Structure 1
């Protein structure tokens, strides 16, 4: 009974319209059946597109409907009361988060970062130094004018150099490296209730606002496969390889695998199998032989080609191509705001000076 959790087991239709199954778990069970001169009989080959959940598979194994479930499940997540209904560990993987790549700064934000605080402090120190030595420099007007020209050249060159560097390679926002930082960002981790309940209780209660629960697993999978950047997604390190490989065909990645937001590190995964199944020990020995021979890793690495063969992946660019754009009034908004603010301050100071001079004139000072 495959659970049809891609890319572990993939259900698709071939050119003749017949339903076929791909995936490294299917390769493993086919090789195991071939070793024992047996054939595989699929219980749910004509099932709908809905992937089976963990409880459905365990119940099918417990009731004797299946001998082995073509489904790999975590053995140390959530409740451990039914771990005896799983095989010996077949694989290890981490359960972390797939987050959207932080966006690059807009032009208006870049212009405000061109002149950082250290540069402003340096200019202030130069101005104070000039005011202190201004009395002595009056004897050397040429040196004074040359100094100001050199300073203006250095400042303008520094400004233009920084501006061109920022325009050529704009920096991105700081990466989200914790659940608390995720709560401050507009991104939320979308999850289903069964996965959400597997997260530690303290994390669920303290950072509940960082999660968004989906009613069905198909909604989550559809958003994740479409590279919807409105959400982050929980994902295992094995499945992340598929999305990483797919993004290599794009102009730039839109998602990254965050090891800072891992809920479980290197957890064992096992096959669903009845507790007293005679296949338990032989299957364990055979999976060890496959791993020693390198076939297990070979089949896992073919997951991306399996997804392409099944038509589950399209090679359209997931992001728009970069296009050069001219500066607009909106980009210079912050510059205009600063300019108007400084202009208003200077007008207020000038008005105050005029007011003080008029008061002194009328009072006869």
Structure 2
């Protein structure tokens, strides 16, 4: 019994000493940890603490810090918390963070995390676990933190994947690791829609690479963050739709295409707007009027009515001024006045020798009117023969049915316009629209300037068409700015949901815009297409053969009118002779009776 009592006293004494050491060491751990949290607040300010886990040293420290605290004892936030970017996450152990709220995961993906290591948890395994979650701002604390005076900071793209940082040094604990990805692949798929993204073989390695004003921003970003591009080539008809689907399903990191604001309102899979543009009709330039119709164009109905009124007035004045009387005034003499008609046409007519001053004045007015009339129509005729006017064009969506050309539009864009209930699109009759399932097929027709259809096009794509048409003898299409489905469309680059380097990519994208590189790439789009053999450097306007002189068919219409007038004159002459002879024969017969 004595030995047993002595043994119990020794155990009690040892336990008391251990408790005394623990009670003395706990304040030291809290003080060192409190100093660390203050240092982290100085390096990057935080106003909210999110603590995962139950009953650890972080709970008592949260009361001493001037920051709001959210305790997630179960390891997950049950409510949809609207956390800000100024939130520091504290985990009592790696296993305590069991966040299941999707929105919270996305908002807290880039936030700094301080994890307390217990037991046999190794830093490399813990860093690997967070790397799979794509959470990179991780720092780890061991139980002997107060003695070692150092913590472990995860460095996910290095080997080993963590670094021991001494708190006595000025070495930053959290760094932007994604600025140097050490060759990590970025998965992307080009849409092969020139000039957005185009493929070409590398002359040195022979590998496929992409270029274009969308592909270039991805290429330069990969170079900036020291990453490699992992290209996938799709040979499908609906390649844009497939890229958007793969991006939403997290099979791609960045899609080398553009996502319109008309297509979706899901902003988590779209970057900051890359290009602001319009979405209008690409309408065929109206054909020139044939020379045979020029004579009809220069005779305006209102002007012709005024000339007819002036002709009647001159006829009445000529009839009155000859004898200073209205005695010979009749409808036939007014409408068939030979002197007034020939005078207005600039031809000579008999003039009496003993004409009075009133007749001379009227004739002078007729002469002046004939000079003005013939000069005006001769100027019209010469100018229209030199450059004939165009046929009536399309000025509203309701006029599309009057035009022979239908509008070719891809199915994906039709669905987007219907989904957004576009009022302009509803004005077009279904019979005037040709829906093409494959977007590349529709773009091939448009790129070849197929004259069978009109097309829809964005303003950024039209700039390349405008540059190409400078090589044509005559422009084929024009950008109808008064026929736009939308005058302001945001075109964004599709991104994978909760992409960890989204902020770096968007910052890089806006810097390219600021430096003018995007404008430069867009202005050289056509020449890049020619260099890659995607667009021929030739005239696609199908110009007509030049004729140095008028042909007989060009004046056929006016010759037919002239022939009809001659026939009418001959008939009138025959009728006049016949009527006079019939009158003479009738008078002779009455005289004989």
TM-score, structure 2 as length reference: 0.55
Pairing of 1:13-52 with structure 2 (within 5 A): 13=201, 19-44=208-233, 47-48=234-235, 52=239
Q: Tell me if the contact between 1:3 and 1:51 (Cα under 8 Å) persists in the aligned partners.
A: no
Q: Tell me if the contact between 2:400 and 2:428 (Cα under 8 Å) persists in the aligned partners.
A: no
Secondary structure, in 3 states, of the residue corresponding to 1:288?
helix
CA distance in 2, matches of 1:148, 1:301: 60
CA distance in 1, matches of 2:476, 2:286: 8
Structure 2 CA distance for partners of 1:155 and 1:102, relative to 1, 3 Å: same
Secondary structure, in 3 states, of the residue corresponding to 2:214?
helix
Cα offset, 1:49, TM superposition: 7.9
CA distance in 1, matches of 2:571, 2:416: 62
Q: Hey, what does 2:550 align to over in structure 1?
A: 327
Q: Tell me if the contact between 1:251 and 1:321 (Cα under 8 Å) persists in the aligned partners.
A: no
Q: Deviations over 1:252-283 (max 9, x none)?
A: 21111111111122211111112121122222
CA distance in 2, matches of 1:97, 1:205: 14
Could you list the runs of 5+ residues in structure 1 that have no partner in the other structure?
A: none
Structure 2 CA distance for partners of 1:15 and 1:353, relative to 1, 3 Å: farther
CA distance in 2, matches of 1:25, 1:68: 11
Given the alignment, which residue of 347, 365, 379 partners 1:161? 379
Structure 2 CA distance for partners of 1:39 and 1:14, relative to 1, 3 Å: closer
Q: Tell me if the contact between 1:179 and 1:210 (Cα under 8 Å) persists in the aligned partners.
A: no
Pairing of 1:89-168 with structure 2 (within 5 A): 89-133=273-317, 134-137=319-322, 139-140=354-355, 143=360, 154-168=372-386
CA distance in 1, matches of 2:281, 2:428: 18
Structure 2 CA distance for partners of 1:322 and 1:137, relative to 1, 3 Å: farther
Given the alignment, which residue of 361, 377, 401 partners 1:183? 401
CA distance in 1, matches of 2:220, 2:405: 43
Structure 2 CA distance for partners of 1:343 and 1:66, relative to 1, 3 Å: same
Pairing of 1:211-250 with structure 2 (within 5 A): 211-250=433-472
1:7 correspondence with 2:195: yes
After alignment, is 177-186 or 134-143 more displaced? 134-143
Structure 2 CA distance for partners of 1:351 and 1:277, relative to 1, 3 Å: same
Secondary structure, in 3 states, of the residue corresponding to 2:228?
coil
1:69 correspondence with 2:255: yes
Pairing of 1:160-309 with structure 2 (within 5 A): 160-200=378-418, 201=421, 202=423, 203-204=425-426, 206-309=428-531
Structure 2 CA distance for partners of 1:114 and 1:206, relative to 1, 3 Å: closer
Secondary structure, in 3 states, of the residue corresponding to 1:196?
helix
CA distance in 2, matches of 1:124, 1:67: 76
Cα offset, 1:352, TM superposition: 7.6
Cα offset, 1:41, TM superposition: 1.3
Structure 2 CA distance for partners of 1:69 and 1:233, relative to 1, 3 Å: same
Secondary structure, in 3 states, of the residue corresponding to 1:53?
helix
CA distance in 2, matches of 1:155, 1:297: 53
CA distance in 1, matches of 2:522, 2:458: 13
CA distance in 1, matches of 2:212, 2:314: 74
Q: Deviations over 1:155-174 (max 9, x none)?
A: 44433322111111211123
Cα offset, 1:295, TM superposition: 2.3
Q: Tell me if the contact between 2:400 and 2:406 (Cα under 8 Å) persists in the aligned partners.
A: yes
Q: Tell me if the contact between 1:182 and 1:188 (Cα under 8 Å) persists in the aligned partners.
A: yes
TM-score, structure 1 as length reference: 0.85
Secondary structure, in 3 states, of the residue corresponding to 2:268?
helix
CA distance in 1, matches of 2:509, 2:439: 29
Structure 2 CA distance for partners of 1:135 and 1:57, relative to 1, 3 Å: same
CA distance in 1, matches of 2:276, 2:367: 66
Q: Tell me if the contact between 1:96 and 1:236 (Cα under 8 Å) persists in the aligned partners.
A: yes
Q: Tell me if the contact between 1:87 and 1:272 (Cα under 8 Å) persists in the aligned partners.
A: yes
CA distance in 2, matches of 1:63, 1:129: 83
Q: Deviations over 1:281-316 (max 9, x none)?
A: 222222222222222222232322221221112121
Structure 2 CA distance for partners of 1:150 and 1:69, relative to 1, 3 Å: closer
Secondary structure, in 3 states, of the residue corresponding to 2:230?
coil
Q: CA RMSD in A?
A: 3.1
CA distance in 2, matches of 1:59, 1:48: 15
Cα offset, 1:106, TM superposition: 0.6
Instruction: Indicate the structure whose relative CO is greater, using CA pairs within 8 Å and at least 6 residues apart.
Output: 1
Structure 2 CA distance for partners of 1:282 and 1:343, relative to 1, 3 Å: same
| Total equivalences in the alignment | 359
After alignment, is 217-226 or 184-193 more displaced? 217-226
Q: Deviations over 1:105-140 (max 9, x none)?
A: 111111212333344334323322232222323651
1:59 correspondence with 2:245: yes
CA distance in 2, matches of 1:153, 1:68: 73
Q: Deviations over 1:43-73 (max 9, x none)?
A: 22xx43856123x112212333221111111
CA distance in 2, matches of 1:64, 1:215: 25
